[in-house]
Structure 1
Amino acid sequence: MKIAMATDHAAFSLKERIKHYLNNLEHEVIDFGCYSEESADYPLFISKAARAVANGQCERGIVMCGSGIGASIVANKIKGIRCALVYTPELCRLARQHNDANIIALAGRFTEEDTAKRIVDVFLLTKFEGGRHLGRVNQIIEIEEGRL
Protein backbone atom coordinates (compact mmCIF):
# COMPACT_ATOMS: atom_id res chain seq x y z
CA MET A 1 0.00 0.00 0.00
CA LYS A 2 1.21 3.54 -0.70
CA ILE A 3 1.14 5.59 2.49
CA ALA A 4 1.65 9.32 2.96
CA MET A 5 3.45 10.38 6.12
CA ALA A 6 4.16 13.77 7.66
CA THR A 7 5.09 15.19 11.02
CA ASP A 8 6.61 18.06 12.90
CA HIS A 9 9.85 18.02 14.88
CA ALA A 10 8.16 16.70 18.03
CA ALA A 11 7.15 13.44 16.35
CA PHE A 12 10.07 13.14 13.90
CA SER A 13 11.67 10.23 15.76
CA LEU A 14 8.42 8.23 15.91
CA LYS A 15 7.76 8.94 12.22
CA GLU A 16 11.17 7.59 11.28
CA ARG A 17 10.65 4.39 13.27
CA ILE A 18 7.15 3.84 11.85
CA LYS A 19 8.38 4.59 8.32
CA HIS A 20 11.10 1.94 8.76
CA TYR A 21 8.50 -0.50 10.11
CA LEU A 22 6.22 0.10 7.10
CA ASN A 23 9.09 -0.25 4.64
CA ASN A 24 9.98 -3.60 6.23
CA LEU A 25 6.37 -4.68 5.63
CA GLU A 26 6.91 -3.71 1.96
CA HIS A 27 4.61 -0.71 1.97
CA GLU A 28 5.63 2.30 -0.07
CA VAL A 29 5.98 5.38 2.13
CA ILE A 30 5.94 8.89 0.72
CA ASP A 31 7.52 11.15 3.36
CA PHE A 32 6.27 14.73 3.17
CA GLY A 33 8.47 15.92 6.06
CA CYS A 34 9.66 17.19 8.32
CA TYR A 35 13.13 15.73 8.01
CA SER A 36 14.81 16.49 11.34
CA GLU A 37 14.17 17.39 14.96
CA GLU A 38 14.74 21.08 14.25
CA SER A 39 11.68 23.18 15.02
CA ALA A 40 9.23 22.99 12.12
CA ASP A 41 5.68 24.16 11.44
CA TYR A 42 3.55 21.05 10.91
CA PRO A 43 0.72 22.57 8.78
CA LEU A 44 2.94 22.74 5.69
CA PHE A 45 3.94 19.09 5.91
CA ILE A 46 0.62 17.66 7.07
CA SER A 47 -1.35 19.45 4.34
CA LYS A 48 0.90 17.96 1.64
CA ALA A 49 0.37 14.43 2.97
CA ALA A 50 -3.39 14.96 3.26
CA ARG A 51 -3.60 16.28 -0.29
CA ALA A 52 -1.72 13.20 -1.51
CA VAL A 53 -4.41 10.99 0.04
CA ALA A 54 -7.25 13.22 -1.16
CA ASN A 55 -6.03 13.21 -4.78
CA GLY A 56 -5.34 9.47 -4.84
CA GLN A 57 -1.54 9.65 -4.97
CA CYS A 58 -1.53 7.65 -1.71
CA GLU A 59 -4.12 5.20 -0.40
CA ARG A 60 -3.81 6.14 3.26
CA GLY A 61 -1.97 8.62 5.44
CA ILE A 62 -0.33 8.78 8.84
CA VAL A 63 0.33 12.23 10.29
CA MET A 64 1.87 13.18 13.60
CA CYS A 65 2.76 16.06 15.84
CA GLY A 66 3.49 16.26 19.56
CA SER A 67 -0.14 15.79 20.62
CA GLY A 68 -1.64 14.68 17.31
CA ILE A 69 -4.29 17.37 17.71
CA GLY A 70 -2.83 19.97 15.36
CA ALA A 71 -2.00 17.34 12.76
CA SER A 72 -5.57 16.03 12.78
CA ILE A 73 -7.02 19.53 12.51
CA VAL A 74 -4.85 20.37 9.50
CA ALA A 75 -5.54 17.07 7.72
CA ASN A 76 -9.29 17.48 8.17
CA LYS A 77 -9.15 20.88 6.43
CA ILE A 78 -8.45 19.08 3.15
CA LYS A 79 -11.56 18.07 1.22
CA GLY A 80 -12.00 14.32 1.11
CA ILE A 81 -10.03 13.59 4.26
CA ARG A 82 -11.43 11.86 7.31
CA CYS A 83 -8.56 11.96 9.78
CA ALA A 84 -8.96 10.40 13.21
CA LEU A 85 -6.71 11.17 16.15
CA VAL A 86 -6.18 7.76 17.74
CA TYR A 87 -4.38 6.72 20.91
CA THR A 88 -5.25 3.02 20.93
CA PRO A 89 -5.66 0.22 18.40
CA GLU A 90 -9.34 -0.07 19.36
CA LEU A 91 -10.03 3.59 18.55
CA CYS A 92 -8.23 3.09 15.25
CA ARG A 93 -10.34 0.02 14.45
CA LEU A 94 -13.53 2.00 15.08
CA ALA A 95 -12.27 4.93 13.00
CA ARG A 96 -11.79 2.59 10.04
CA GLN A 97 -14.91 0.45 10.52
CA HIS A 98 -17.37 3.23 11.30
CA ASN A 99 -15.89 6.40 9.78
CA ASP A 100 -13.81 5.10 6.87
CA ALA A 101 -10.88 7.17 8.18
CA ASN A 102 -8.31 7.52 5.43
CA ILE A 103 -5.71 9.21 7.63
CA ILE A 104 -4.80 8.68 11.26
CA ALA A 105 -3.05 11.16 13.51
CA LEU A 106 -0.68 9.99 16.21
CA ALA A 107 0.67 11.85 19.23
CA GLY A 108 4.44 11.70 18.99
CA ARG A 109 4.97 12.73 22.60
CA PHE A 110 2.38 10.36 24.04
CA THR A 111 2.42 7.22 21.87
CA GLU A 112 4.93 4.46 22.57
CA GLU A 113 6.51 2.85 19.52
CA ASP A 114 4.96 -0.60 20.12
CA THR A 115 1.51 0.94 20.51
CA ALA A 116 2.03 3.01 17.36
CA LYS A 117 2.95 -0.14 15.42
CA ARG A 118 -0.19 -1.93 16.63
CA ILE A 119 -2.29 1.11 15.68
CA VAL A 120 -0.72 1.22 12.21
CA ASP A 121 -1.35 -2.50 11.70
CA VAL A 122 -5.01 -2.05 12.61
CA PHE A 123 -5.27 1.03 10.36
CA LEU A 124 -3.93 -0.82 7.34
CA LEU A 125 -5.81 -4.09 7.85
CA THR A 126 -9.26 -2.91 8.99
CA LYS A 127 -11.94 -2.43 6.36
CA PHE A 128 -14.82 0.04 6.40
CA GLU A 129 -18.01 -1.79 7.42
CA GLY A 130 -20.38 0.27 5.29
CA GLY A 131 -23.99 -0.56 6.13
CA ARG A 132 -25.50 1.88 8.61
CA HIS A 133 -22.16 3.71 8.75
CA LEU A 134 -22.18 4.50 5.02
CA GLY A 135 -25.08 6.91 5.44
CA ARG A 136 -23.19 8.79 8.14
CA VAL A 137 -20.01 8.99 6.07
CA ASN A 138 -22.10 10.26 3.15
CA GLN A 139 -23.55 12.94 5.44
CA ILE A 140 -20.01 14.00 6.37
CA ILE A 141 -19.22 14.31 2.67
CA GLU A 142 -22.39 16.34 2.08
CA ILE A 143 -21.46 18.71 4.90
CA GLU A 144 -17.98 19.08 3.44
CA GLU A 145 -19.47 19.90 0.04
CA GLY A 146 -21.92 22.41 1.54
CA ARG A 147 -25.02 20.38 0.61
CA LEU A 148 -26.10 19.56 4.17
Structure 2
Amino acid sequence: MTKPTVAFAADHAGFELKNLLRDELKAQGYGVLDLGTNGPESVDYPDFGRALGEAVAAGKAGFGIAVCGTGIGISIAANRIAGCRAALCHDTTSARLCREHNDANVLALGARLIGVETARDCVKTFLATEFAGGRHAGRVAKLGQTA
Protein backbone atom coordinates (compact mmCIF):
# COMPACT_ATOMS: atom_id res chain seq x y z
CA MET A 1 0.00 0.00 0.00
CA THR A 2 1.36 3.41 -0.97
CA LYS A 3 1.60 5.90 1.87
CA PRO A 4 0.17 9.36 1.25
CA THR A 5 2.13 12.53 0.82
CA VAL A 6 2.14 14.69 3.92
CA ALA A 7 2.70 18.43 3.62
CA PHE A 8 4.55 20.23 6.41
CA ALA A 9 4.59 23.90 7.37
CA ALA A 10 5.83 25.76 10.41
CA ASP A 11 6.88 29.13 11.66
CA HIS A 12 10.16 29.74 13.47
CA ALA A 13 8.82 28.31 16.76
CA GLY A 14 7.82 25.07 15.07
CA PHE A 15 10.79 24.77 12.73
CA GLU A 16 12.72 22.12 14.68
CA LEU A 17 9.70 19.94 15.46
CA LYS A 18 8.52 20.17 11.85
CA ASN A 19 11.89 18.99 10.58
CA LEU A 20 12.05 16.12 13.05
CA LEU A 21 8.55 14.87 12.18
CA ARG A 22 9.14 15.37 8.45
CA ASP A 23 12.35 13.36 8.50
CA GLU A 24 10.75 10.55 10.50
CA LEU A 25 7.79 10.24 8.13
CA LYS A 26 10.08 10.34 5.12
CA ALA A 27 12.12 7.48 6.64
CA GLN A 28 8.86 5.55 7.09
CA GLY A 29 8.09 5.80 3.37
CA TYR A 30 5.70 8.75 3.30
CA GLY A 31 5.99 11.32 0.57
CA VAL A 32 6.74 14.73 2.04
CA LEU A 33 6.11 18.25 0.83
CA ASP A 34 7.98 20.79 2.95
CA LEU A 35 6.48 24.26 2.65
CA GLY A 36 8.87 25.88 5.13
CA THR A 37 9.97 27.74 7.04
CA ASN A 38 13.54 26.73 6.43
CA GLY A 39 15.29 28.28 9.40
CA PRO A 40 14.85 29.63 12.92
CA GLU A 41 14.56 33.28 11.86
CA SER A 42 11.28 34.97 12.80
CA VAL A 43 8.54 34.58 10.18
CA ASP A 44 4.77 35.07 10.06
CA TYR A 45 2.75 31.90 10.71
CA PRO A 46 -0.22 33.00 8.54
CA ASP A 47 1.93 32.71 5.41
CA PHE A 48 2.81 29.10 6.18
CA GLY A 49 -0.65 28.12 7.39
CA ARG A 50 -2.15 29.47 4.18
CA ALA A 51 0.37 27.63 2.01
CA LEU A 52 -0.34 24.39 3.83
CA GLY A 53 -4.11 24.79 3.60
CA GLU A 54 -3.87 25.53 -0.11
CA ALA A 55 -1.62 22.51 -0.76
CA VAL A 56 -3.93 20.09 1.05
CA ALA A 57 -7.12 21.57 -0.42
CA ALA A 58 -5.60 21.35 -3.93
CA GLY A 59 -4.70 17.68 -3.43
CA LYS A 60 -0.93 18.19 -3.53
CA ALA A 61 -0.84 16.23 -0.26
CA GLY A 62 -3.31 13.89 1.39
CA PHE A 63 -2.63 15.34 4.82
CA GLY A 64 -0.83 18.25 6.41
CA ILE A 65 1.06 18.89 9.61
CA ALA A 66 1.21 22.48 10.83
CA VAL A 67 3.45 23.57 13.69
CA CYS A 68 3.84 26.90 15.44
CA GLY A 69 4.49 27.82 19.06
CA THR A 70 0.97 27.00 20.26
CA GLY A 71 -0.54 25.53 17.10
CA ILE A 72 -3.34 28.05 17.36
CA GLY A 73 -2.27 30.72 14.88
CA ILE A 74 -1.17 28.37 12.12
CA SER A 75 -4.38 26.33 12.45
CA ILE A 76 -6.50 29.47 12.18
CA ALA A 77 -4.62 30.46 9.03
CA ALA A 78 -4.95 26.99 7.48
CA ASN A 79 -8.67 26.84 8.25
CA ARG A 80 -9.31 29.98 6.22
CA ILE A 81 -8.75 27.88 3.10
CA ALA A 82 -11.86 26.12 1.79
CA GLY A 83 -11.36 22.37 1.90
CA CYS A 84 -8.84 22.48 4.72
CA ARG A 85 -9.94 21.09 8.07
CA ALA A 86 -7.11 21.74 10.54
CA ALA A 87 -7.40 20.46 14.09
CA LEU A 88 -5.18 21.53 16.97
CA CYS A 89 -4.34 18.45 19.01
CA HIS A 90 -2.52 17.97 22.29
CA ASP A 91 -2.84 14.21 22.76
CA THR A 92 -3.67 10.99 20.92
CA THR A 93 -7.35 11.11 21.85
CA SER A 94 -7.85 14.46 20.13
CA ALA A 95 -5.73 13.27 17.17
CA ARG A 96 -7.92 10.18 16.78
CA LEU A 97 -11.24 11.95 17.22
CA CYS A 98 -10.43 14.79 14.83
CA ARG A 99 -9.98 12.17 12.10
CA GLU A 100 -12.88 9.90 13.11
CA HIS A 101 -15.48 12.59 13.69
CA ASN A 102 -14.29 15.65 11.76
CA ASP A 103 -12.35 14.16 8.84
CA ALA A 104 -9.54 16.58 9.67
CA ASN A 105 -6.90 16.68 6.95
CA VAL A 106 -4.38 18.86 8.81
CA LEU A 107 -2.92 18.17 12.24
CA ALA A 108 -1.80 21.30 14.10
CA LEU A 109 0.70 21.04 16.93
CA GLY A 110 2.10 23.53 19.42
CA ALA A 111 5.86 23.04 19.65
CA ARG A 112 6.05 25.05 22.87
CA LEU A 113 3.23 23.11 24.50
CA ILE A 114 3.82 19.42 23.81
CA GLY A 115 6.88 17.24 23.92
CA VAL A 116 8.45 15.42 21.02
CA GLU A 117 7.10 12.00 22.05
CA THR A 118 3.56 13.32 22.33
CA ALA A 119 3.91 14.98 18.93
CA ARG A 120 5.13 11.70 17.41
CA ASP A 121 2.22 9.82 18.96
CA CYS A 122 -0.27 12.41 17.67
CA VAL A 123 1.11 12.15 14.13
CA LYS A 124 1.06 8.34 14.19
CA THR A 125 -2.52 8.27 15.47
CA PHE A 126 -3.71 10.99 13.09
CA LEU A 127 -2.32 9.21 10.02
CA ALA A 128 -3.56 5.77 11.10
CA THR A 129 -7.15 6.83 11.82
CA GLU A 130 -9.91 6.69 9.22
CA PHE A 131 -12.92 9.00 9.03
CA ALA A 132 -15.89 7.16 10.54
CA GLY A 133 -18.45 8.68 8.15
CA GLY A 134 -22.01 7.76 9.06
CA ARG A 135 -23.62 10.29 11.37
CA HIS A 136 -20.50 12.47 11.09
CA ALA A 137 -20.61 12.86 7.30
CA GLY A 138 -23.43 15.41 7.26
CA ARG A 139 -21.76 17.45 9.95
CA VAL A 140 -18.49 17.53 8.06
CA ALA A 141 -20.34 18.56 4.92
CA LYS A 142 -21.71 21.56 6.80
CA LEU A 143 -18.16 22.67 7.53
CA GLY A 144 -17.72 23.37 3.82
CA GLN A 145 -20.82 25.53 3.55
CA THR A 146 -20.47 29.27 3.41
CA ALA A 147 -22.56 31.62 5.54
Task: Please indicate, yes or no, whether the TM-score normalized by the shorter chain is above 0.5.
Answer: yes
Given that 2:48 and 2:74 are in contact with CA atoms closer than 8 Å, whether structure 1 keeps it comes out as no
CA distance in 1 between counterparts of 2:108 and 2:18 reads 11
Q: State the partner residue of 2:54.
A: 51
User: 1:12 pairs with 15, 19, 23, which one?
Assistant: 15
Given that 1:19 and 1:29 are in contact with CA atoms closer than 8 Å, whether structure 2 keeps it comes out as yes
User: 2:139 pairs with 119, 136, 139, which one?
Assistant: 136
TM norm structure 2: 0.95
Give the gaps of 5 or more residues in structure 2: none
Given that 1:86 and 1:106 are in contact with CA atoms closer than 8 Å, whether structure 2 keeps it comes out as yes
Given that 1:9 and 1:38 are in contact with CA atoms closer than 8 Å, whether structure 2 keeps it comes out as yes
Quick one: percent identity of the two aligned structures?
44
User: 2:89 pairs with 76, 83, 86, which one?
Assistant: 86
Please give the residue correspondences for 1:34-49 in structure 2 after superposition, counting only pairs within 5 Å: 34-49=37-52
CA distance in 1 between counterparts of 2:123 and 2:52 reads 16
TM norm structure 1: 0.95
Aligned-pair CA distance for 1:45: 1.5
Given that 1:53 and 1:61 are in contact with CA atoms closer than 8 Å, whether structure 2 keeps it comes out as yes
* Deviation sequence 1:33-69 (CA, Å, 0-9, x none): 1011111111112211110100111100000100000
Letter of the 1:87 partner, please give it: H
* Deviation sequence 1:4-51 (CA, Å, 0-9, x none): 100000111111110111111111111101011111111112211110
Instruction: Confirm or deny that 1:98 pairs with 2:101.
Output: yes
Letter of the 2:18 partner, please give it: K
Letter of the 2:62 partner, please give it: E
Question: What is the total number of aligned residue pairs between the two structures?
Answer: 144
CA distance in 2 between counterparts of 1:56 and 1:11 reads 24
| Equivalent position SS for 1:10 | coil
Give the gaps of 5 or more residues in structure 1: none
Q: State the partner residue of 2:79.
A: 76
Deviating 4+ runs (over 4 angstroms): none
| Equivalent position SS for 2:33 | strand
Q: State the partner residue of 1:123.
A: 126
Given that 1:32 and 1:46 are in contact with CA atoms closer than 8 Å, whether structure 2 keeps it comes out as no
Aligned-pair CA distance for 1:138: 1.1
Q: State the partner residue of 1:63.
A: 66
